[in-house]
Structure 1
Amino acid sequence: MTDVNKDAAPAHDPTGLRADCGECFALCCVALPFSASADFAADKPAGRPCGHLRDDFRCGIHSRLRGSGFSGCTVYDCFGAGQKVSRVTFGGRSWQQAPDSARQMFDVFPVMRQLHELLWYLTAALRLEAASPVHAAARALRDEVEAVTLRDAEVLLATDIAALRGRTGELLLRAGALARAEAKPGRGKDRRGADLLGARLGGADLHGADLRGACLIAADLHGADLRLADLLGADLRDTDLSGADLTGSIFLTQPQLQQARGDAATKLPSGLRRPAHWTA
């Protein structure tokens, strides 16, 4: 898959939490299933290589995924889990070279992806200066999760991901609140989990708002002030971010941007890049 975040590297590791497709055995193109929809032009069961995957583990339609009906591929990001499974967990032996281990490799990949996503968020929390009161806890949890990613396949498959996600979620909630407190008094409206499907919020003052988990599908946020807004888990599919100011927004990921619409006037947080499909 493509359009992964090539710029948002973690402070403690310049490459480990961004996908390096050249070091991966195309696990996202094989291990994961997808169904014919607006995001995928065909059905594919888990464990079967995509019909466009070449023998060298590269995509045959990489440069024209959206035009070919595979926009879902352009918004997927493994946060570096693909190369970790390929090169560390399975020691550089591909599912083609060791077909007996293919099923286990495919089962481990989504587990590793979740662990790397947690690492990405914990690293993001450590970058929030205002969240310094929780930095020690975030650093300890990040180290704990990272240690799990280095274990063998059996340990990874037995990992209680839900428990780690719960602990991480609590910590990120505290970090986000501390960071949003930097907004001006009276700002920071609570819209956590709000249903804002198709909402007309053009030019809205959402500076420091809690938009965690909000449904913003097809919402109009053009020109909106989203500085210091907590966007963890917000659904930004087809959201209009043209001209919006996302400077300093909290826990915004590259996949969220890939799902949204924007333009050259959209201001992005440091470390995230402007999607190729956005208008000039």
Structure 2
Amino acid sequence: MSRPVFRFAPSPNGQLHLGHARSALINDALSRASGGRLLLRIEDIDATRCRPEFETGIYEDFAWLGLDWEQPVRRQSQHFADYRSALARLETLDLIYPSFETRGDIRRAVAERSGWPSDPDGAPLFPFSRAAMSAAERARRVAAGEPYALRLDMARAVETAVAVAGPLGWQEVEAAGGTTRLVAADPLAWGDVILARKEVPTSYHLAVVVDDALQGVTHVVRGADLKAATSVHRLLQVLLGLPAPLYTHHALLLDAEGRKLSKSIGSQSLAALRAGGMSPAEVRRTALEGLR
């Protein structure tokens, strides 16, 4: 019987904080308890924000916390060919299309439509239709070198996936108690999500699904803020013929204002806590406080 495989997959676009420590420590504990393996994956597809010093910091933080990880570490920027292959399969199924609308175009279109819906992350759904432009015109504009995003035709993708696998859902293992339940997926709530751009041949949604399958990940344990995105991931797994891991979405650490810890709001980093004299044991206790 194969061993369970867990993974922690940070982006090197800033320093890790206590929220990252919580997720890494939970993955480590579950992998040890099950006799499994723990992988570290570097999600560095954003070349404009990811920096080598932040990747080095991830390794230093992991080692300081006493966590072990398997080698070699998978770095997404070294595997763009894998994501291109996945896109090619979706293109064969006629499920992706290039869109040329800018963020400004989207803002203006949404402003003109009262009550326009948002996705689970709070961003407005893509307000344009694939049918508004012919495939020939889209191909012409791509050939002309115009910037574009490759979007998933969500309605068609869901119809295709349901025809293959029936109603979409995933197995969620509850963080408290370990019971498993089926969660219904709702990928339509995300609209026509971006899977790649002209200059970057993947997005988070596509890369994470491809990587988990190629690395044999059996248990995806991550923060509750990513639970809704699992609907998109489960859809892509069906469309690409990939296995479905078990999922656990643990509670997030919040700051004094009730906000989730984040690099973007300047949450105190593990490196700063270390420099301030906090011990690894204290970080472990703080990161896991309140979890059962």
TM class by shorter-chain length? under 0.3
More helix by share: 2
Higher relative contact order (CA 8 A, sep 6+): 2
After TM superposition, the score normalised by the length of structure 2 is 0.27
Q: Computing the radius of gyration over CA atoms, which structure comes out larger, 1 or 2?
A: 2
After TM superposition, the score normalised by the length of structure 1 is 0.28
